[in-house]
Every structure is written in structure tokens, then in C-alpha cells.
């Protein structure tokens, strides 16, 4: 990825500063890292925006309460924490929700955040300023609560930027992002469903995402279905014991999606996909449909599986051979399908939750063995090789493995924030950050570890490409003890929309490497 140097008011001097990596030199070992700015000396223009002084940039992490990560439950609702001042000790695995002793230990996400913040402050050019990190644990139950949080965050912290890590409780992150942007706070979000381009434009230049907006996500998935699934016969159906084999028949599609009202992005994604599929000649209006009620990386929630059971029965009775799984995550469809001896092909619109290792292993292996996905995730080999894991262990050499693993998932928000600060130059404002991002030239990726990352005019998300993956119930990702992995076709080769290579030959190549991306899910203690 090529990023231009900072604006010309970068100061004077040749004092040695930050280390550079590689040739041409970049800021860190991450192959997506920007060109290195090794030193700065001069005027950084002081207070250039709210939350910015000559010495500090205030940044807030926005999280949800009432979920447990790595079995550690969260502090009470509406708690603020100064991440620099949180005790270093890890919380016990039995740490209960709302325990009055929560202040005596550092929650696993805070350990991850502190390590990442240390790393990026040490390795990226911030022009004499240090990013000072705070956290807010939200108990917002609805849209009004999300909006109220933004108002309180401005009053209590007045941050330059927010890293939106909420999503494990009630969704509706879009409400928070809009309210925060209206109050002058930049928001960096890597939520799985993302937002529409029109949403980003409405809140420009304050809302940013590393992963694609819904338009790019929908175009990537739809173009894959239209060019690599449509027109070929069934080839990936049936169970290991031979039941439910429909191979060789013409494909008949069914649509499976969530009706979760807290995930409006998934509804918009489905609508955009339907439009693309119509334009490539598929009879979308005649396709059987099935739904599921809730979506999110959560276990032990209230989903009874009734809707999924109805979907399976409908698809089976109407002869659906190929289910288009339009984003979101649940665990009951594959269970119900196995119970009814129904083993269709499943083409997943990957969203970082339904196409990771941890959640795929929750699915029924007989059914999910027919699943493949269009995934905008990046290739990873060993979990310890993830840029986020390595950044966390450098930022805190004493960090535990649980926290380092969680850092891998949150790394990209920090990456975008610090990259934006660097390309903005010393006069830090949202407008100058936008100018720096939009100066990145468009370029197709030739490396499975590097996304095609650039910003078209009026575009505020980074990743523009994706790869093909298929679930092998017997495969093993690097260093994993349990079976099951997503195998990467052609080593994880990435493709822009409508530029997919080859035909319908996804499954069966046992030499395809397993992606090391583990992912995670949270546990609702209720």
C-alpha cells in the first residue's frame, strides 16, 4: 500500500527518531504499514481540534457491558476508565458482572487496548503528541441510549476520536456514530456489517471504517455469485455418509438472512445483493426465503431456533440446493438442517463473524462442511503472526495470551487512527486526515496478507477486495488442537469485485492453506 508523505508543514530538523522497516521503508513490520516518517521537529500547531493539545490526543474506546470476554465480565454500566491508570493485574476467570472489585484488575479488553496504544504511540509519527486512551462501558439498551452516550462522552472526555468496539449487546452502533460525528468526534469502526456509503458521506469526514462499506461488500459478494456460482451445477452438497447428495443438478437458490432490528446494515446489505442478483439475471423474487431473529457473535442468547427450523423445512420442500447466507451469525440453521437430513451448498457472505474459526466450529460439521465464503478478511498463518498479536506483545511484553489474541481483532481500528494521524501531519484536523487518506492511489493487491486499500472520491472505507475460503471440518489451522478450518483458495489470492478468477472449483483441494484467523465470540451471562 502506498501512502503519500505528510503535508509540507511537517517541521524542520534531522533529529533521529522512529525506526523504519523494510525497503522502501515503512512504519512497522505490518506489510500494510504506511511509508515511514522517522522524525519530526518543529511546530505542531497546538490545539488544532477538540481533544488535541500540543502534547496529547484524547481517544475514547466505546464498549458494551453485560457480556463476558474470555470469561471475564465487564465493569458496571456507564463506567469511564483512564486506560493509563487501570491496574496491571488480569481479572480472574470467574470475575462476575458488576462485581464491586472490578476496579482492582484490568479487564482483558483493557489489557489489549493498553498494549496496542503503547505500540502505536512508539512506532507511528504523532508529531510530538501522545494518544491518551480512555474507555467507556455503555449500558445503552436502545437507540436513544446510544445517542445519549455520545453526548455524555463529549461532556466527560471531549475526545478527538472514538474507537467503536460496541456490538456485543444491542447493536444500533449507527446511532452512536451519527451522534458522535454530529458532536465533532471522529469515529473509527470495524463493525461486521459496516455502514452505507451515504451514511459515511452524511457524517464526512468524521466516520471511517477499515472494512468495506455495504456497497463494496455487496458488490464483492454479488459479483462472486453471479460469475462463480450461477451457471454451474451443484457440486458441494451432501453429508459425509452420503445423505442429501444433490450434486450434478441445476442450482436452485434460497436466501437466508436475519430480521434483527438492531442490525440495519444487514438489511441494507441484503437489499443491495438482491438488486445485483436481479441485474445478472437471477430470479430473486421467486427464490424461497428463510430468516433468523438475532445476529451477533454471542452464545447463550434467546434464539430458540424456530425460524431456522422453518427455513430448513421450506428450503428442503422447495428443492433448494444452494443457500445464499447473506451475512450475520447464528448457530441453529446447521443444527436444524442436520436434524432433517438436509445438506445443501451454503455460500456465505463473510463479515468477520460468520467466517472465522471460532464461530464456524459452533456449527454442525456435517452441514457446514458444504459452506464456502467470500471473505474480506486477510490471510493469517499462525495466530501469533497476526499484526495485532505482535503489536500487543511489543507494546506490553508481559501481556497474557488471551489479551494478545483479542488485540488481534481490534488492531485495525488503532491502525486506521494512527495512520490517519500520521498522514494528516502536525496540523491535526479531520479535513487534513481526509486529504491524506484520499491521496492513497488505487492499487490491486498481489499479496494475500495485504488488502487493496484506497479511498475513492466520497469513500470512507479502506478494503476493496476479498478472497474465497471453504470450510474443511477435518483441517487444522496453524497450532490449533481442534479440527476445522477455513481453507484459502489459491493461498488467499484477493480479487476486486467482478474480477474473480477461475470457475466453480472451490472445494476439495486439501493443499489450500488454513487461515490462522481465529476470531472470537462473547458469552451473555444473562
Distance of alpha carbon 200 from alpha carbon 206, whole angstroms: 8
Contact 271, 235 (CB under 8 A): no
Contact 516, 469 (CB under 8 A): no
Model confidence at 86, in pLDDT bands (50, 70, 90)? very high
C-alpha distances in angstroms, 427 versus 51, 74, 204, 438, 500?
13, 37, 18, 17, 41
Query: 311: part of which helix (H) or strand (E)?
Result: helix 306-317
Between 24-38, 83-97, 196-210, 238-252, the lowest mean confidence (pLDDT) is in 83-97
Distance of alpha carbon 58 from alpha carbon 135, whole angstroms: 11
Q: What is the pLDDT of residues 305-328, one digit of tens each?
A: 999 999 999 999 999 999 999 999
Contact 278, 284 (CB under 8 A): yes
Q: Quick check: 355 pLDDT over 50? A: yes
Q: Quick check: 525 pLDDT over 70? A: no
Q: Which residues of 24-33 are buried (b: 16+ CB within 10 A; e: fewer)?
A: eebbbebebb
Q: Quick check: 13 pLDDT over 80? A: no
Between 5-9, 34-38, 191-195, the lowest mean confidence (pLDDT) is in 5-9
Q: Which residues of 480-490 are buried (b: 16+ CB within 10 A; e: fewer)?
A: beeebbbbbbe
Please tell me the class of the 215-375+464-523 domain. alpha beta
Distance of alpha carbon 248 from alpha carbon 509, whole angstroms: 19
Residue pointed to by grid coordinates 464526512: 204
Distance of alpha carbon 127 from alpha carbon 245, whole angstroms: 62
Q: Is the model more confident about 189 or about 342?
A: 342
Between 196-200, 303-307, 341-345, the lowest mean confidence (pLDDT) is in 303-307
Q: Quick check: 44 pLDDT over 60? A: yes
Distance of alpha carbon 1 from alpha carbon 450, whole angstroms: 8
Q: What is the largest CA-CA distance in the chain?
A: 74
Between 113-127, 157-171, 196-210, 436-450, the lowest mean confidence (pLDDT) is in 157-171
Q: What is the pLDDT of residues 136-157, one digit of tens each?
A: 999 998 999 999 999 999 999 9
Residues of the chain with CATH 3.40.50.2300: 56-212+383-438, 215-375+464-523
Q: Is the model more confident about 102 or about 10?
A: 102
Of 384, 388, 341, residue with least CA distance to 364? 341
pTM as predicted:
0.90
Give residue 524's pLDDT: 54
Model confidence at 522, in pLDDT bands (50, 70, 90)? low
Model confidence at 359, in pLDDT bands (50, 70, 90)? confident
Please tell me the class of the 56-212+383-438 domain. alpha beta
Distance of alpha carbon 338 from alpha carbon 359, whole angstroms: 17
Residue pointed to by grid coordinates 479531520: 430
Model confidence at 208, in pLDDT bands (50, 70, 90)? very high
- Measured over the CA atoms of residue 36, residue 41, residue 43 and residue 45, the dihedral's sign is positive
Cα pseudo-dihedral 206, 211, 214, 218, rounded to 10: 160
Give residue 297's pLDDT: 60
Query: 72: part of which helix (H) or strand (E)?
Result: strand 72-73
Return left, alpha or beta for 391; rule: phi > 0 is left, psi -120 to 50 is alpha, else beta.
alpha
Q: Is the model more confident about 13 or about 403?
A: 403
What's the whole-number average pLDDT of the chain? 90
Q: Is the model more confident about 71 or about 166?
A: 166
Give residue 380's pLDDT: 87
Contact 329, 489 (CB under 8 A): no
Q: Quick check: 4 pLDDT over 50? A: no
Q: Quick check: 6 pLDDT over 50? A: no
How many other C-beta atoms can be found within 10 angstroms of the C-beta atom of residue 157?
A: 20
Of 429, 426, 436, residue with least CA distance to 5? 436
Distance of alpha carbon 469 from alpha carbon 486, whole angstroms: 6
Amino acid at each position: 500500500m502506498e501512502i503519500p508523505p505528510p503535508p509540507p508543514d511537517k517541521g524542520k530538523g534531522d533529529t533521529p527518531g522512529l525506526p523504519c522497516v523494510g525497503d522502501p521503508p515503512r512504519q512497522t513490520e505490518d506489510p500494510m504499514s504506511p511509508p515511514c516518517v522517522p522524525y519530526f521537529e518543529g511546530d505542531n500547531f497546538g490545539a488544532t481540534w477538540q481533544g488535541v493539545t500540543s502534547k496529547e490526543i484524547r481517544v475514547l474506546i466505546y464498549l458494551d457491558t453485560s457480556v463476558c470476554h474470555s470469561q471475564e465480565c465487564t465493569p458496571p454500566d456507564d463506567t469511564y476508565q483512564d486506560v493509563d491508570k487501570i491496574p496491571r493485574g488480569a481479572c480472574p476467570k470467574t470475575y462476575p458482572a458488576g462485581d464491586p472489585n472490578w476496579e482492582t484488575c484490568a479487564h482483558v479488553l483493557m489489557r489489549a487496548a493498553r498494549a496496542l496504544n503503547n505500540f502505536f504511540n512508539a512506532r507511528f509519527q504523532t508529531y510530538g503528541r501522545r494518544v491518551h486512551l480512555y474507555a467507556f462501558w455503555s449500558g445503552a439498551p436502545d437507540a436513544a441510549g446510544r445517542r445519549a452516550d455520545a453526548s455524555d462522552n463529549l461532556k466527560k472526555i471531549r475526545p478527538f476520536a472514538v474507537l467503536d468496539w460496541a456490538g456485543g449487546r444491542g447493536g444500533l452502533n449507527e446511532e452512536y456514530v451519527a451522534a458522535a460525528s454530529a458532536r465533532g468526534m471522529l469515529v473509527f469502526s470495524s463493525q461486521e456489517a459496516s455502514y452505507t456509503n451515504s451514511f459515511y458521506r452524511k457524517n464526512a469526514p468524521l466516520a471511517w471504517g477499515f472494512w468495506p462499506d455495504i456497497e463494496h461488500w455487496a458488490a464483492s459478494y454479488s459479483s462472486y455469485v453471479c460469475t462463480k456460482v450461477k451457471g454451474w451445477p451443484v457440486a458441494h452438497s451432501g453429508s459425509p455418509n452420503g445423505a442429501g447428495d444433490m450434486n450434478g443438478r441445476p442450482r436452485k437458490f434460497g436466501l437466508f438472512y436475519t430480521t434483527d432490528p438492531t442490525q440495519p446494515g444487514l438489511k441494507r446489505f441484503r437489499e443491495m445483493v438482491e438488486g445485483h442478483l436481479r441485474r445478472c439475471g437471477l430470479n430473486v423474487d421467486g427464490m424461497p426465503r428463510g430468516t433468523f431473529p438475532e445476529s451477533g457473535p454471542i452464545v447463550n442468547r434467546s434464539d430458540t431456533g424456530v425460524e431456522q427450523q422453518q427455513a430448513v423445512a421450506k428450503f428442503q420442500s422447495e428443492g433448494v440446493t444452494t443457500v445464499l447466507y447473506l451475512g450475520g451469525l447464528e448457530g441453529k440453521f446447521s443444527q436444524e438442517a442436520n436434524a432433517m437430513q438436509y445438506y445443501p451448498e451454503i455460500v456465505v457472505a463473510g463479515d468477520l463473524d460468520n467466517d472465522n474459526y471460532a464461530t464456524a466450529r459452533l456449527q454442525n460439521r456435517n452441514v457446514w462442511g458444504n459452506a464456502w465464503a467470500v471473505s474480506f478478511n486477510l490471510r493469517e498463518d499462525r495466530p501469533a503472526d497476526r499484526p495485532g498479536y505482535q503489536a500487543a506483545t511489543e507494546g506490553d511484553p508481559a501481556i497474557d495470551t488471551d489479551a494478545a489474541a483479542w488485540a488481534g481483532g481490534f488492531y485495525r481500528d488503532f491502525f486506521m487512527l494512527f495512520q490517519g494521524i500520521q498522514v494528516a501531519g502536525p496540523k491535526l484536523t479531520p479535513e487534513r486526515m481526509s486529504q491524506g487518506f484520499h491521496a492513497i492511489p488505487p492499487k490491486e493487491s498481489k499479496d494475500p496478507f495485504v488488502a487493496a486499500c484506497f479511498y475513492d472520491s466520497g469513500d470512507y472505507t479502506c478494503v476493496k477486495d476479498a478472497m474465497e475460503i471453504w470450510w474443511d471440518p477435518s483441517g487444522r489451522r496453524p497450532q490449533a488442537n481442534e479440527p476445522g478450518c477455513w481453507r484459502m483458495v489459491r493461498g488467499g489470492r484477493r480479487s476486486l469485485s467482478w474480477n474473480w478468477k477461475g470457475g466453480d472449483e472451490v472445494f476439495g483441494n486439501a493443499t489450500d492453506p488454513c487461515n490462522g484467523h481465529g476470531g472470537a465470540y462473547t458469552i451473555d451471562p444473562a
